[in-house]
A and B are shown apart, each in its own frame.
Chain A
Amino acid sequence: DTEVTQTPKHLVMGMTNKKSLKCEQHMGHRAMYWYKQKAKKPPELMFVYSYEKLSINESVPSRFSPECPNSSLLNLHLHALQPEDSALYLCASSQPRDRGPSWRNTEAFFGQGTRLTVV
């Protein structure tokens, strides 16, 4: 199973709402990611979790709050979003190799994304 599952597929929310995006993988990967993708642009990294701990936060506004409850699940909690936050939100996972001179990132597997519209 090389699948990363994201729910919901579509989400419309008001600027005062609180919602959550969910991501699940059962490949045993210990790195999970949130990306934001605007139309006609490449994905932009938001957060990286490594072994269930937040390892990278790319200066994302606090209205986005990630959570990694266990090694298979990744959530993104949304609160007080702005219309410019409307985008495709992608979750991904990968299996990091052991640290060493040739330590590299392996390929990332992406979910189908959640299309978020903030009104």
Chain B
Amino acid sequence: AQSVTQLDSHVSVSEGTPVLLRCNYSSSYSPSLFWYVQHPNKGLQLLLKYTSAATLVKGINGFEAEFKKSETSFHLTKPSAHMSDAAEYFCVVSERMTTDSWGKLQFGAGTQVVVTP
């Protein structure tokens, strides 16, 4: 069975400082992992994805994430936060699909990012 844990429900950073959002996963098989961002009253936008290629994944808007199998982690980072990064971030895992799990994405609880001037 798959699961995902976002270790921080709320992160506050100053504009121009680094952002770190932590995500740990549990999966029976080598998973696919995603980070999505959701601005208030909007849909979810894909930031980046890991699908068993390079372990360091670069995404949009300067975000990147590193897949560490030994630590079962997929932390999201950005070197310099911008005011527009204020949003909710979801770590999502999808593993090898079976008939029962087909199409299912497992969402973390989310991390609310606040950016202060």
Taking beta carbons and an 8 Å cutoff, which residues of A are in contact with B? Answer: 4, 6, 31, 33, 40-43, 45, 48, 50, 55-56, 88, 90, 92, 94, 96, 101-113, 115
Q: Do the beta carbons of B104 and A56 come within 8 Å of each other?
A: yes
Select the stretch in B17-25, B63-71, B73-81, B91-99 that faces chain A.
Answer: B91-99
**Could you pull out 16 A-B pairs where Cβ atoms are within 8 angstroms?**
A42-B108, A42-B109, A45-B105, A48-B103, A50-B102, A55-B103, A92-B44, A94-B103, A96-B97, A96-B102, A103-B97, A105-B32, A110-B44, A112-B42, A112-B43, A113-B41
Q: Do the beta carbons of B97 and A43 come within 8 Å of each other?
A: no
Main secondary structure of the interface of B (DSSP, over half): loop
List residues of chain B with CB within 8 A of the CB of A96: 97, 102-103
State A4–B41 Cα separation when bound (angstroms): 16
Q: Do the beta carbons of B43 and A90 come within 8 Å of each other?
A: yes
Tell which of A41, A110, A115 touches B45, judged by Cβ atoms closer than 8 Å.
A110
Q: Do the beta carbons of B94 and A104 come within 8 Å of each other?
A: yes
Contacts A104-B96, A113-B43, A115-B41; A55 near B102 (Cβ below 8 A)? yes
